[in-house]
Structures are given as C-alpha cells and as structure tokens.
Chain A
Amino acid sequence: ELKVEQNPLFLSMQEGKNYTIYCNYSTTSDRLYWYRQDPGKSLESLFVLLSNGAVKQEGRLMASLDTKARLSTLHITAAVHDLSATYFCAVAPTDSWGKLQFGAGTQVVVTP
C-alpha cells in the first residue's frame, strides 16, 4: 500500500524567512503533485513533477523531486502572508489510471 507522509503537519512561518515542507512516499513513482488549499476552498494545482530531478518554480515556491530517495520538497522563500494555506502533496502509483494518494497536508500560517 502506498503511503505518503508530509512533515511538518503544521508550520508557523515568520514573514521574510525561508522554510521547507517534505513529502516522503513509500513506493516507486516518478509522478508527484503539489496542491494548495485555502480555508473553505477547493484544491488548486501548484506543481506537477514528472521525472527524477524535476524542479518547478512559481514565485516564492519551488518544488523538487528525488525519485531515488522517494522525496519531494516544497521550498518557500521569504514567506509572505498570502502563502498562508494548507499544502498537499500527492503521488500517483504506477498504472494508477490517474489515481492519487494524498499526504495529510501541511497547514501553513505566516505571521508578521
């Protein structure tokens, strides 16, 4: 059974500082996704990582994938209040017809 573990589950950030969210998974996969969810809202796709060594960046967020270590990281640079949200990683098992296994989510709160 594929397990996806995120840590930390809660992250209190100070504005202007850098932080990293980790996503570990238990089986071979080279397809990993990051989503953002604002309170009371649905999930919004942030990044799709499709190969070992893939790196994607959007604004203050950068995601990377190491399939050998079964690890993805979401790095936040110079946190700002607008980044307060819950971030989920999700992994697609091989031959999964597009099914995803989600981590528990990391709740991020950015304070001045």
Chain B
Amino acid sequence: DVKVTQSSRYLVKRTGEKVFLECVQDMDHENMFWYRQDPGLGLRLIYFSYDVKMKEKGDIPEGYSVSREKKERFSLILESASTNQTSMYLCASSSYLGHAAYEQYFGPGTRLTVT
C-alpha cells in the first residue's frame, strides 16, 4: 500500500511567520506534488518535483517555495505566511502506470490557518 504522510493535520500560524509543511512517501516515487484546495476551486498545483533537488513551478507558486533533499521527502515552505494562504494543503506522489500515464496518491492534508 502506498503511504503518503504529512507532518500535521492542523496548523495555526500568525501572519509573517515562516511555515514548513512536510510530506513523506514510502514508495520510492520520483514525482511529488504540493496542491492547495479551496472551496469551489478544486485543487491547484503549487509546485512539483520530478527528482531530488529538482522542482518546477505549478499554477500558483507565488509566496511558496519547496525543498527536496531526499527522494522520499518534499517540503513546502511559506516564507512569510499571509491570511490568504489559509487553506487545505495536500501532498501527493505518483507512480508510473506505463504509456506515459501516472497515478497520484494523496496524503491526508494539512489544514493551515493563518491569523
């Protein structure tokens, strides 16, 4: 069974704080992703990584950075948290199905509130 874990289920931070969200997968997947989920907007990709130390911006990277020092771990960093970053953050890793297709497996999510 693929397991994707996230460091916290709930987090409350103050405006201006530096926030670290960590994600670990145990299936040796190369690709990992960070999304944020907001009502009515679905999931939006923040960043993804296709290998250690490799990263690529998604659709909404502003205000975020990422780090991938080890294959199993992908961290999302909010350099200076703002109230508009209050959201549910979901991490995922993906396995290759063949024929240029992948399947994503999601962690339980971190609900971040910035006050």
Tell me, rounded to whole Å, the shortest Cβ–Cβ distance linking A14 to chain B. Answer: 24
Known contacts A45-B105, A97-B31, A97-B50; A50 and B99 CB within 8 A of each other? yes
Chain B CB within 8 A of A71 CB = no
Interface size class of A (residues with CB under 8 A): 20 to 34
Contacts of A88 in B (CB 8 A): 42-43
Decide if A100 is an interface residue (CB 8 Å cutoff).
yes
A77 to chain B, nearest CB (A): 25
Minimum CB–CB distance for B101 against chain A, Å:
5
Q: Which residue of A lies closest to B32 (CB)?
A: A98
B106's contact among A9, A31, A43, A92, by CB below 8 Å, is which?
A43
B residues whose Cβ falls under 8 Å from a Cβ of A:
31, 33, 35, 40-45, 48, 50, 56, 58, 90, 94, 96-97, 99-109
